[in-house]
Structure 1
Amino acid sequence: MLLSKDTVIPENLVSWLSVYSYLIIGSIAVFVKLGLYRAVVRYVSVRAFIVVFTGAFISTLLLAALAYAFKINLPATGIVNYGLTALLIVGGSRFAMREIYHRLVSRKKTPVMIYGAGSAGRQLAQALTNGEEFAPVVFVDDDKTLQSAMLLGIPVIEPSEVERTVKKQGIERILLALPSASRATRKAILESLETLNVKVLTVPGMADMVNGDMTIDQLQDVRIEDLLGRDPVEPDPALMQKHIKGKVVLVTGAGGSIGSELCRQIILQKPKALILYELSEFGLYSIEKELRELISKHKLPEIDIYPIIGTVQRRNRIEAVMTSFHVQTVYHAAAYKHVPLVEFNMVEGVRNNVFGTWHTAEAALKANVELFVLISTDKAVRPTNVMGTTKRLAELVLQGLAERTKAAQGNTRFCMVRFGNVLGSSGSVVPLFKRQIEQGGPVTVTHPDITRYFMTIPEAAQLVIQAGTMGDSGAVFVLDMGEPVKIVDMARKMIHLSGLEVRSNKHPHGDIEITYTGLRPGEKLYEELLIGDNVTDCDHPRICRAHEQALSWQQMDALLEQLNDACQNFRIDDLRELLLNAPTDYQPSDGEINDLIWQHMR
């Protein structure tokens, strides 16, 4: 009040002391009531400023009332000056302390760069500022209206300045805050960051945040699908529901990588019932528990889930299941898919992949199933291993049964869906590379030129379901897997985006070495999806139909009898010869028979 030049000091000091006493007590009471003294200084926010403003305003009104009550001649300028001073001291001191605290604490945090100054980036910056691990020091964004500006006190730079800023600011992490960006965009950004040897983390996808599964500050390693740069096509709801909604569906191999994802996708389409057929007790337990949680989470109507332990090699078991539950749709995902293991266990590979498919398909015919879909593989095309050969034979079994069923005017429609590797499946190189990088290397690659097709498990499962609605019985469908990926390039990208450098002759002081172990038994350098060029497009842009050689059921039946006899009597030489003579174009990459028991019996 003394800042006002119009203020007149009254002779009665008692009145002044009374005004000050009541003003101090009243102001403290107001601030206590507003909760200002409960606010932690380091978390002071805009809301705290509103509280300070409200308290200072009420305190100023209290001063005016006291001056009037005690008949003190206090001019309006004195009252206004008091209010402004109170606002500056009470609020300014708190914001100043907050800034000092954050500057001191930020020195102990890891400096990070946030790539993306949009809503997700700003939310991430605020969360990290209040956290104890990372200190956001700069935003990167290609939006020219934001460049050179300050957001939340943090400068925004353009992408061309990233490398210079990383070195200048000592950036140890780059956080990708682009949850809605396409995979093509994310791939281009990741490729530009790869040479920096700075660890790159990413915020969760928009779907995970909207569903409440993850929060903005739950940072993750860069997902390998972002490196592929291939955006999935949204599934057609009509195709997804056609053979599932309101129907009884059975999935064999329900606990496996593909089988479990098929179950997740099927549940979302609201079947009448879902039968989980699986040999692994733990796998069956895990997927059943997950599906029940999924139903609760999405508030789906009550869906009957039946977990059944069983092997596809016992026809009476699978037939009893299909007949008892009146199954209408079957997705046959049960198979041995690991190339070297099937190479070492030829009889079981044939038993499970060929005869297991046959028994399941015959059971489907007996139960009058409407649709039977076989999950096949790109390794069935010109196979160099036993696994690929058995999957091609499984396709031939269904093609032969389709011919037989048509002649008998049966109702069951058979089809096969062929695709390549899926990211994150059991045996996939991606989790293997991650573990090897975490352990300090080396990262093992079989051959410098080996390439593979890749697809995410959810996209593969959705395309399998949609492909099953197309074509007539006996059709072979092929999924568009995009461009093949060189495995060693994938390994290098994963190392670089982990903030590490590849150790080589050129860089002897690098962090992780890549070593080549040689092709495994039955493995080939390049995978193919088509046996020939006779292919037609389907209703879906990523599904096409292959037209390939097939056997009549009489021919297939005779071959099955010979295969069964060889397996039953463990005549591995004869089994190998039958596989070579079958119309699968089997050309072993190894001249030796690799079955482990056979080798020790000789």
Structure 2
Amino acid sequence: MRQRMVRYVSSLVRWLSTMKYLNRWIVLVLDLSLSLLSAIVSYLLVLAFLQIQFNRGELYRFVCFALGAGLLIQLVFKLYRGIIRHASIQEASRLLAALFCKELILLIAILLYSGFSSQWLAIVLLDLLISFFLVISVRALLVSIYFTLVGGNLNGNRLLFIYGTDNHSIALINWFRSGALHPYVAVGLLSTDMSQSGLRIGGLPVFAISTPDSFRKLLTHVRLQTVMFPDYATVQHERNRFVEVCLQSNIELLVAPPVELLDNPEKAREHMREIKIEDLLGREQISINMDEISSVLKEEVILVTGAAGSIGSEICRLLASIRVKQLILFDNAETPMHDLRLEIQDRYPMQSFVPIIGDVRIKSRLEFVFTKYAPTVVFHAAAYKHVPLMEEYPCEAIRTNVDGTRKLADMSVLHSVKRFIMISTDKAVNPTNVMGASKRIAEMYVQSLSFKIDEARGKTQFITTRFGNVLGSNGSVVARFREQIRRGGPVTVTHPDIFRYFMTIPEASRLVLEAVTLGRGGEIFVFDMGEPVKIADMARRMIQLAGLIPDEQVKVVFAGLRPGEKLYEELLTDSEFTVPTRHPKIRIAKVRRYEWNEVSTAVDQLIRMAESEESEQVIRLMKKLVPEFISNHSPYEIYDPKN
């Protein structure tokens, strides 16, 4: 019998600990029962205190009035719909207001039935106090029982510490208690304030950690699987301290959603995310003035080439978010274009847009777009970007990166486009590969055309933006590393000392839009890329973020530099210098001026060679046009000038 009772109680505990919430009708019956108990106790206490003779019929009538008033208030305020374990100060205020209304209805009913007396006024006031005490106490007891059961049933859950003790962190405690974050269970808070050691906030203990060593020491005494940071700024601030310790200890790292979303647990979970390598760049997030950008672009018909690519699609999202007059999506990639179309339809239903499958190398297709839709602003993001492939196919690099740019730029002038924004790359600076050199030649053509238009008092402003590698873009090193880690390694890095500048897709896209407000025509804008990142360190950090140990569970191997690759990228050539703009992260590169007639003639010749598949002649002419183009780890080194 005893064993059967133990099994029954254990089953009940498991059932209660896994319940999502208490049934609303149970809550209704519970509250009405408390109302009944409060009415009886209030009546008996007042009669005993005033030494009035007990009247059973009078008690029955009072209890019926109390139940009726309680049921009416429940239906009006819908108190039974609340999830008890989500209770807050606001909920307590709402309960008090509902109980006050109940007692007011009860007092009016009594006055209408038997007239005013101090006895009934005392009973009603006491009923208000007792009802509020019982309702709050029972709710607190249920919350305590629930979290005691959950806290004692941690098998299969991930124990999580919240970093910080500010209001956001305290709000997170209540969010975790909602149960919406299963299997995560918050068991403590981390604070750098040593005076908070040993305190309890929101029922959770505070562990003070002033240094990475004190954090490591804590990890030897407590079971910790996950740390949640309140925001990205905190992650950046603690990047070289506690974040590094977490990575070394294979602790999962999360970033909390904004505090304003915590009232909606399910929506908040959608905005919670794991910390990625993008969050550990060691740079502040770049901010831009979207209101100013909106004022410049809102009434424009905007064409985005390469719209389905990483940068192009993000530019489209930003433009759709400010709801420009019309958005023309242009790309030759069918499936990514289809996906982007569905996304914009879902996320920006009010935005007018047209997806167009086409190739910037086909003049007739460009003529169709410009004639039918009359774009007033062009963002040119279409390009071939992979260095090793373009080393193998230099003629294709010229057809797309140079001829495609030339045709699009010429068409923009012909149709009086207001602004033409070309997206370039840091690989165009002192290029060591075909891809970088082709983008530099495209820059030269666009800039020389801008000077020609300016002299002829033309309408089109040509603006070039130049930045480094984009984290998370299609085919990027981050995507490759992530897939290699998923397969168990090895992670291949070309060289132990290779460095690259990195920027996130949103940062790069926002700065491209910001450049639109700064440009007057002919500029090459250079973005502040922060400090260069060592690729080998990035690979190891990504392995740690995956909860694995670098060089033990996942190997990092070095495959050697690829054709055309160099150890360091640059944003400016040796002969260039920059001048500031009003945006602290954007500068203007002062470069040599090229005459359009000279550049156009050379580009015509280069394109004819590319169309005839004369790869050797293409390389020779590219090196003549861009004297700083010195091949590296490439068969084209034989065409470099001999020292």
Query: Structure 2 length normalisation: TM-score?
Result: 0.76
- Which residue among 578, 583, 589 is the counterpart of 2:632? 589
- Which residue among 462, 466, 470 is the counterpart of 1:418? 466
| Contact preservation (8 Å) 1:49, 1:91 | no
- Which residue among 259, 264, 272 is the counterpart of 2:312? 259
- Which residue among 197, 203, 206 is the counterpart of 2:250? 197
1:168 partner SS = coil
CA deviation after TM superposition for structure 1 residue 237, in Å: 4.9
CA deviation after TM superposition for structure 1 residue 436, in Å: 3.4
Count residues with an aligned counterpart.
572
Moved more, 282-291 or 569-578: 282-291
CA deviation after TM superposition for structure 1 residue 390, in Å: 0.8
2:279 aligned with 1:226: yes
Mapping of 1:33-112 within 5 angstroms?
A: 47=91, 95-96=140-141, 98-106=143-151, 107-108=153-154, 109-112=157-160
- Which residue among 322, 338, 343 is the counterpart of 2:386? 338
1:522 partner SS = coil
CA deviation after TM superposition for structure 1 residue 314, in Å: 1.4
Give the match for residue 578 of structure 1.
Answer: 621
1:502 partner SS = coil
2:329 partner SS = strand
Give the match for residue 585 of structure 2.
Answer: 542
CA deviation after TM superposition for structure 1 residue 526, in Å: 1.0
CA deviation after TM superposition for structure 1 residue 354, in Å: 0.6
| Shift in alpha-carbon separation, 1:139–1:592, aligned structure 2, 3 A | same
Query: Structure 1 length normalisation: TM-score?
Result: 0.80
2:325 aligned with 1:272: yes
- Which residue among 464, 488, 502 is the counterpart of 2:549? 502
Q: Which amino acid aligns with 1:222?
A: I
Give the match for residue 299 of structure 2.
Answer: 246
CA displacement 1:159-186 (0-9 Å, x = unmatched): 335433333221111111236x366425
- State how far apart, in whole Å, the 1-side matches of 2:171 and 2:380 are: 45
2:430 partner SS = coil
Moved more, 409-418 or 136-145: 136-145
2:239 aligned with 1:187: yes
- Which residue among 191, 194, 214 is the counterpart of 1:141? 191
CA deviation after TM superposition for structure 1 residue 375, in Å: 0.5
CA deviation after TM superposition for structure 1 residue 38, in Å: 8.6
- State how far apart, in whole Å, the 2-side matches of 1:486 and 1:326 are: 45
CA deviation after TM superposition for structure 1 residue 317, in Å: 2.2
CA deviation after TM superposition for structure 1 residue 114, in Å: 0.7
CA displacement 1:436-473 (0-9 Å, x = unmatched): 33443333322221111111222212222232344554
2:545 aligned with 1:531: no
| Shift in alpha-carbon separation, 1:169–1:477, aligned structure 2, 3 A | same
- Which residue among 503, 514, 520 is the counterpart of 2:562? 520
Give the match for residue 410 of structure 2.
Answer: 362
| Shift in alpha-carbon separation, 1:573–1:150, aligned structure 2, 3 A | same
2:230 aligned with 1:152: no
- State how far apart, in whole Å, the 2-side matches of 1:210 and 1:411 are: 51
| Shift in alpha-carbon separation, 1:543–1:533, aligned structure 2, 3 A | farther
| Contact preservation (8 Å) 1:208, 1:214 | yes
| Contact preservation (8 Å) 1:502, 1:514 | no
Give the match for residue 476 of structure 2.
Answer: 428
2:635 partner SS = coil
| Shift in alpha-carbon separation, 1:171–1:192, aligned structure 2, 3 A | closer
CA deviation after TM superposition for structure 1 residue 213, in Å: 10
Moved more, 275-284 or 17-26: 17-26
Q: Which amino acid aligns with 1:227?
A: L
Give the match for residue 393 of structure 1.
Answer: 441
Gaps of 5+ in 1: 595-602
| Contact preservation (8 Å) 1:121, 1:178 | no
CA displacement 1:295-315 (0-9 Å, x = unmatched): 44xx7xxx5322222111012
Q: Which amino acid aligns with 1:427?
A: G
CA displacement 1:221-275 (0-9 Å, x = unmatched): 1033321232234323575246523222211111111111222223344433222
CA deviation after TM superposition for structure 1 residue 431, in Å: 3.1
CA deviation after TM superposition for structure 1 residue 586, in Å: 1.8
- State how far apart, in whole Å, the 1-side matches of 2:137 and 2:291 are: 61
- State how far apart, in whole Å, the 1-side matches of 2:487 and 2:498 are: 24
Moved more, 251-260 or 562-571: 562-571
- State how far apart, in whole Å, the 2-side matches of 1:38 and 1:465 are: 47
- State how far apart, in whole Å, the 2-side matches of 1:267 and 1:425 are: 20
| Contact preservation (8 Å) 1:182, 1:231 | no
- State how far apart, in whole Å, the 2-side matches of 1:393 and 1:321 are: 25
Give the match for residue 514 of structure 2.
Answer: 466
- State how far apart, in whole Å, the 1-side matches of 2:296 and 2:127 are: 76
1:512 partner SS = coil
Give the match for residue 600 of structure 1.
Answer: none
Gaps of 5+ in 2: 1-40, 638-643
Q: Which amino acid aligns with 2:225?
A: E
Give the match for residue 15 of structure 2.
Answer: none
2:413 partner SS = helix
1:232 partner SS = coil
| Contact preservation (8 Å) 1:124, 1:217 | no
CA deviation after TM superposition for structure 1 residue 376, in Å: 0.4
2:499 aligned with 1:442: no
| Contact preservation (8 Å) 1:7, 1:78 | no
Give the match for residue 344 of structure 2.
Answer: 291
The structure with the greater share of residues assigned to helix is: 2
| Contact preservation (8 Å) 1:401, 1:553 | yes
2:334 aligned with 1:281: yes
| Shift in alpha-carbon separation, 1:147–1:240, aligned structure 2, 3 A | farther
- State how far apart, in whole Å, the 2-side matches of 1:213 and 1:364 are: 47
| Contact preservation (8 Å) 1:392, 1:584 | no
CA deviation after TM superposition for structure 1 residue 22, in Å: 8.4
| Shift in alpha-carbon separation, 1:99–1:272, aligned structure 2, 3 A | closer
Moved more, 151-160 or 584-593: 584-593
- State how far apart, in whole Å, the 2-side matches of 1:7 and 1:267 are: 72
- State how far apart, in whole Å, the 2-side matches of 1:593 and 1:127 are: 60
| Contact preservation (8 Å) 2:175, 2:265 | no
Q: Which amino acid aligns with 1:557?
A: S
| Contact preservation (8 Å) 1:255, 1:283 | yes
Q: Which amino acid aligns with 1:121?
A: S
Give the match for residue 289 of structure 2.
Answer: 236
2:268 partner SS = coil
- State how far apart, in whole Å, the 1-side matches of 2:417 and 2:81 are: 68
CA deviation after TM superposition for structure 1 residue 481, in Å: 0.8
| Shift in alpha-carbon separation, 1:586–1:43, aligned structure 2, 3 A | closer
2:609 aligned with 1:559: no
- State how far apart, in whole Å, the 2-side matches of 1:465 and 1:541 are: 15
| Contact preservation (8 Å) 1:183, 1:229 | no
Q: CA RMSD in A?
A: 4.3
Q: Which amino acid aligns with 2:237?
A: T
